[in-house]
């Protein structure tokens, strides 16, 4: 990183060394002002024209080749160049984007450019808040910063949230150091502190950051909503803000992404279900493939529903700690519904098979939810998988044999 | 988070009390209040709450904490079974 021409970054005014030994606080403040650029003249209302009214003139901050985010209010001139000043209220586009990302649509591309942003009217003494470049993380931070003056340092976490990026080591000491040096943060602020979200701690060694760029890491609260209190309390946190939560709302928003991940394998599985359902004494029957296949598909989908939707919602109230067992329990209940729903036309063997399929699918889907929870240890997950997967495999093999054999038995 | 307890006696978390200097960093970064600093040293107060995220070990200034960090994710673990622990795994 050191070979980057840091000092040659665009600066609009002369850089003051704000941290020289004899500098007073008053000297420490570089003049930070929004830039006044004249806008294009709006068209007068009574101007003769045809068709719909033209939109507003282009923002003076727009540049050819770049698209400006709606959340950028204006730019502030600083010793390290022009820094965007961002809004703290979310707009309809933000909520639409959140919804899209939560549904898993183009989620990996929902990101903001890494680098430096500002909120309010920060000075050289204002705190520097570090976050990830996943737009949802960025939004959840800025919406809590109304009436706060701060710098925001966005790391390049490849569009992944703080917690997961820390796990993947993209929210890391190296990336903090890289961004600090790239921006020339030491020329912007006179203190030497960075406030990082606590959930970034698995990826960031505070000692390494201090060593690599001279900035001290201060671990902030887990949730952005506790930041205001944290800053007002001179960067001290209360114990409650250091603990994770996993409320029903926090669990429910995770469901669509989990579902979006299993759409593709599900299509392959459903195709197999229809094909297997057609096998019978007359070798292959399209009508059986359709009728029995539909029943099998219902059992599969109820399994997904029980494991990937019901288990996350009811998580703390379901008995047993192992997720695969929680999934079996909800799967058996869902399987009974399947039998009641479609079992009327089926033999007892087929009904039992449907019950088995629903429970096995639910068990597997529930086990996969461990990856989305903030309390399951990998050692624990591996332990339960060593038990759960053999049971699931046996159940599926037995179900397939019974399902294919049923038409011959009847 | 107290409603959520996972399997007991599985975590790989270890604290070397000899090395510990009682700085309290582990208590600050742990999201599950596993550590309590009882002067002059840290202690593991709630071992089974550990989710092996590795925040404490990464931030311990004297490397007194040892834990095998990882992703507690089923599809990740299946891939490590198939491809081996050191393989490059794209998941989660």
ipTM given for this complex = 0.90
Residue B74 C-alpha, separation from nearest chain A C-alpha, in angstroms: 5
A51-87: string of b/e by CB count within 10 Å (b at 16+)? eeeeeeeeeeeeeeeeeebebeebbbbbbbbbbbbbb
Q: Would you say A197 and A220 are in contact if contact means Cβ atoms under 8 Å apart?
A: yes
Domain A6-244 bears CATH identifier 3.20.20.70: no
Residue A109 C-alpha, separation from nearest chain B C-alpha, in angstroms: 16
Q: How far apart are CA A184 and CA A251, in angstroms?
A: 40
CB-CB neighbors (< 8 A) of A391 in chain B: none
Tell me the backbone φ, ψ of residue A10, rounded to 5 degrees. -55, 125
Residue B88 C-alpha, separation from nearest chain A C-alpha, in angstroms: 12
> B14-83 has which fold?
Alpha-Beta Plaits (3.30.70)
Q: Would you say A200 and A171 are in contact if contact means Cβ atoms under 8 Å apart?
A: yes
Q: Identify the closest residue of chain A to B79 by CA–CA distance.
A: A382
pTM: 0.83
Of A164, A222, A377, the CB nearest to B10: A377
Q: Domain ranges in chain B?
A: 14-83
Q: Would you say A385 and A376 are in contact if contact means Cβ atoms under 8 Å apart?
A: no
Tell me the backbone φ, ψ of residue A323, rounded to 5 degrees. -65, -35
Q: Domain ranges in chain A?
A: 6-244, 249-409
Do the chains contact at A164 and B92, CB–CB below 8 Å?
Answer: yes
Distance of CA B50 to the CA centre of its chain: 6
Give the pair of three-digit tokens for residue A43: 């068209």
Do the chains contact at A371 and B73, CB–CB below 8 Å?
Answer: yes
Q: Tell me the β-bridge partners of A151.
A: A118, A128
pLDDT tens string, chain A, 410 residues long: the values are: 344 443 343 433 333 333 334 444 444 555 566 666 666 665 555 555 677 777 778 777 788 888 889 999 999 999 999 999 999 999 999 999 999 999 888 888 899 999 999 999 999 999 999 999 999 999 999 999 999 999 999 999 999 999 989 988 899 999 999 999 999 999 999 999 999 999 999 999 999 999 999 999 999 999 999 999 999 887 777 777 888 889 999 999 999 988 988 999 999 999 999 999 999 888 888 888 999 999 999 999 999 999 999 999 999 999 999 999 999 999 999 999 999 998 788 889 999 999 999 999 999 999 999 988 999 999 999 999 999 999 999 999 999 999 999 988 86
Do the chains contact at A370 and B55, CB–CB below 8 Å?
Answer: no
Q: How far apart are CA A145 and CA A73, in angstroms?
A: 14
């Amino acid at each position: 990183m050191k070979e980057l021409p840091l000092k040659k970054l665009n600066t609009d005014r002369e850089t003051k060394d704000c941290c020289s030994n004899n500098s007073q606080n008053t000297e420490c403040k570089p003049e930070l002002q929004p830039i006044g650029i004249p806008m294009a003249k709006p068209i007068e209302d009574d101007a003769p024209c045809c068709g719909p009214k033209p939109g507003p003139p282009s923002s003076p901050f727009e540049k050819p080749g770049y698209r400006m985010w709606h959340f950028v209010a204006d730019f502030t001139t600083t010793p390290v160049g022009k820094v965007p000043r961002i809004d703290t209220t979310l707009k309809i586009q933000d909520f639409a984007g959140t919804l899209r990302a939560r549904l898993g649509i183009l989620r990996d591309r929902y990101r903001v450019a890494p680098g430096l942003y500002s909120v309010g009217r920060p000075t050289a003494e204002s705190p520097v808040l570090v976050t990830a470049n996943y737009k949802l993380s960025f939004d959840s931070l800025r919406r809590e910063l109304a009436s706060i003056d701060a710098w925001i340092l966005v790391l390049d976490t490849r569009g992944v949230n703080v917690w997961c990026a820390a796990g993947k080591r993209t929210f890391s000491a190296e990336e903090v150091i890289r961004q600090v040096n790239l921006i020339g943060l030491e020329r912007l602020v006179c203190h030497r502190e960075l406030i990082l979200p606590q959930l970034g701690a698995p990826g960031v060694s505070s000692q390494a950051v201090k060593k690599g760029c001279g900035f001290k890491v201060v671990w902030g609260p887990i949730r952005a909503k506790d930041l205001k209190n944290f800053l007002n309390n001179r960067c001290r946190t209360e114990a409650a803000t250091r603990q994770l939560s996993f409320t029903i709302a926090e669990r429910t928003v995770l469901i669509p992404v989990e579902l979006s991940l299993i759409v593709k394998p599900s299509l392959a599985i459903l195709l197999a279900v229809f094909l297997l359902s057609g096998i019978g004494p007359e070798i292959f029957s399209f009508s059986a493939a359709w009728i029995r296949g539909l029943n099998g598909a219902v059992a599969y989908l109820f399994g997904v529903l029980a494991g990937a939707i019901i288990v996350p919602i009811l998580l703390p109230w379901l008995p047993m700690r192992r997720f695969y067992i929680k999934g079996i329990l909800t799967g058996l209940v869902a399987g009974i519904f399947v039998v009641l729903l479609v079992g009327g036309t089926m033999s007892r063997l087929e009904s039992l098979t449907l019950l088995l399929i629903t429970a096995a699918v639910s068990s597997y889907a529930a086990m996969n939810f461990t990856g989305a929870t903030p309390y399951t240890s990998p050692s624990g997950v591996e332990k339960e998988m060593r038990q759960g997967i053999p049971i699931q495999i046996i159940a599926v093999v037995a179900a397939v044999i019974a399902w294919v054999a049923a038409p011959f038995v009847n | 988070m107290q409603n959520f307890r996972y399997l007991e006696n599985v975590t790989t978390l270890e604290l070397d009390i000899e090395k510990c200097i009682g700085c309290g960093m582990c208590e600050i970064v742990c999201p599950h209040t596993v550590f309590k600093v009882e002067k002059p040293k840290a202690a593991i107060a709630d071992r089974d709450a550990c989710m092996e995220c590795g925040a404490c070990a990464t931030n311990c200034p004297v490397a007194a904490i040892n834990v095998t960090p990882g992703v507690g994710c089923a599809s990740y673990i299946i891939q490590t079974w198939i491809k081996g622990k050191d393989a490059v795994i794209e998941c989660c």
